[in-house]
Amino acid sequence: MGRWTATLYDHGLPINHSACEAMNPGEFLGSCAAGSLHPGGVNCLMFDGHLSMISAQIQPKVWRALGTRSGGEVVGASDY
């Protein structure tokens, strides 16, 4: 689609949640959730190159931990 909300996402919103965009076109303000047409979750490409289906039922704490290394959490595949 060419819009930033169609190509980027962050871990601030739950999976498949509607995006919060700026009112002015072209401004990169807001938050965009990860989403897809896959029932029950999204496919995420991990930094090490593997692809994982992440359940839409993932705990918010675990979802945010997957999005950063700053917290130092250890997240295993059984968590998502």
Please list the pLDDT of the chain residue by residue as tens digits (80 residues).
Answer: 556 555 667 777 778 777 666 556 656 566 777 777 778 888 888 778 888 888 888 888 888 888 777 777 777 777 77
pLDDT at 63: 84
Task: Report pTM.
Answer: 0.63
Q: How far apart are CA 77 and CA 55, in angstroms?
A: 11
Q: Number of C-alpha atoms within 13 angstroms, CB side, residue 8?
A: 13
pLDDT at 76: 75
* Structure-token pair, residue 68: 């950063």
65-70 — which CB contacts under 8 Å span 24+ positions? 66/11, 67/10, 67/11, 68/11
pLDDT at 30: 66
Cβ–Cβ < 8 Å for 33, 16: yes
